[in-house]
Chains A and B, each alone.
Chain A
Amino acid sequence: MKDFEPVIVAFCCHYCAYTAADMAGSLRLSYPPNVKIIRVPCSGKVDVIHLMQAIERGADGVYVAGCLEGDCHFKSGNAKAARRVAYVKRLLKDIGIEPERIEMIMMSAGMGERFAAVAEAFTDKIRRLGPNPVKLMGASKTRDPHNVSPANKESAAL
């Protein structure tokens, strides 16, 4: 696959992973520009639908970066995130997409080097894996949520 540059989405929790990303920046450590960081208050905020739709819309790889085990600022958000990542990995496998495209990573706020290393390694892995198979058809524009009651309207934001 010549010139394939993967698009990587990284959901980073504010307290640990995002801070580590900041630290990587201030240490002048470079990491691949392929990685698009999305800051979340806690990795536990990431839902299975976010992971699935990232793949649906063409991301080649997605990872959720949260705090180290036992250190989650919100107690167990990282544990929940890890379980959700596992769930989506299984679902992807069942529909024929490589489960390795999605991962859960844990790090602490001071781990600037780890952040950069993970970004590098994951991008590399996805580059070798190849483009997201959905790219055959172009990213999906064909979802059409019809919401009947006011309570349903929030799903349009997804």
Chain B
Amino acid sequence: MITAERKPIQEIINFVSPYKNLLLVGCNECVTVCSAGGRKEVALLSSALQVASMKAGRIIHIQEMTLERQCDPEYVEQLVPYIDQADAVLSLACGCGVQEIARRFKDKMVFPGVNTKFMGASERPGVWAERCQGCGDCLLGVTGGICPIARCSKRLQNGPCGGSSKGKCEISPDVDCVWQLIWDRLKALGLEERYEAILPAKDWRSGRGGGPRKIVREDLM
């Protein structure tokens, strides 16, 4: 999923303090799964903003809404009955959702309530880790199902570097050396020989390096 973390509360308060009527919108998908911007987090943030406003002697009226997702226009459309009563929108969706709301409601100020982080998976309850960088040309088939672009600090495709120590990356003992993981997996699969095949210089055009990307499916248009 796309992971995110709520922005520092003071930053959010600074965004919304000029406004009296706020529409606080959560998202039922990725940010719900990582407990950053779902229904529960909307209620919690709303309560916290109320407390902060009351303490400052300000009145703020907050409408709360959690959409199925914010990255599809059909769902963003469901905000129409509520948008006029709001001076500003605070969205807890990932950057994609925030932008869709801004696109649909051109004359409304939209603020992000979370910092979108990375595409990742759940390691255990409460812990999510980066797994994919969206390079656009997936090489998981040759690295035993473990991605060095996302998980090597230096995105080496022919790692490990000389800083790998006891299975950990040189930058921190909390970060696994992904090339240790890849090697262990290749061994478990009996594919040690594959390690010596050199992965040539990557064509980054399939990734962000080639400019902002689009997928167009004519069969679905």
Contact = CB atoms under 8 A, between A and B. Distances in A.
Do any beta carbons of A and B sit within 8 angstroms of each other in the complex?
yes
Interface of A: 47-49, 52-53, 55-56, 91-92, 94-97, 133-134, 136-138, 140, 142-149, 152, 155, 158
Given A49-B40, A133-B55, A134-B51, A144 B62 contact: yes
A71 B82 CA distance: 48
Interface string B64-83: 11111000000000100010
Given A56-B51, A148-B65, 8 more contacts: A52-B48, A94-B9, A95-B10, A95-B13, A133-B55, A136-B55, A140-B50, A144-B63
A52 B95 CA distance: 27
B47 A52 contact: yes
B9 A91 contact: yes
B156 interface: no
Contacts of B57: 136-137
B78 A143 contact: no
B39 interface: yes
A133 B78 CA distance: 36
A143 B51 contact: no
A98 B52 CA distance: 12
A95 B44 contact: no
Given A149-B68, A152-B39, A142 B52 contact: no
Interface in B18-61: 39-40, 43-44, 46-48, 50-55, 57-61
A143 B55 contact: no
A144 B8 CA distance: 23
B123 to A, nearest CB: 18
Contacts, number: 88
Contacts of B78: 148
A97 B64 contact: no
A91 B48 contact: yes
Contact of B44 (A49, A94, A136, A146): A49
B65 A95 contact: no
Contacts of B66: 148, 152
Contacts of A55: 47, 51
Give 4 nearest A-B pairs by CB, closest first.
A134-B54, A137-B54, A95-B52, A133-B55
A49 B68 contact: no
23 contacts: A49-B44, A52-B47, A56-B51, A94-B10, A95-B48, A97-B51, A97-B55, A133-B55, A136-B54, A137-B54, A137-B57, A142-B59, A142-B62, A145-B64, A146-B63, A146-B64, A146-B82, A148-B65, A148-B67, A148-B68, A148-B78, A155-B39, A155-B43
Nearest to B75: A148
B11 to A, nearest CB: 10
Nearest to B55: A133
A144 B82 CA distance: 11
B35 to A, nearest CB: 10
B110 to A, nearest CB: 17
Contacts of B39: 152, 155
Contacts of A142: 50, 59-62
A53 to B, nearest CB: 5
Interface in B144-160: none
A143 B62 contact: yes
A158 B66 CA distance: 15
Contacts of A148: 65-68, 78
A134 B68 CA distance: 33
Contacts of B64: 143-146
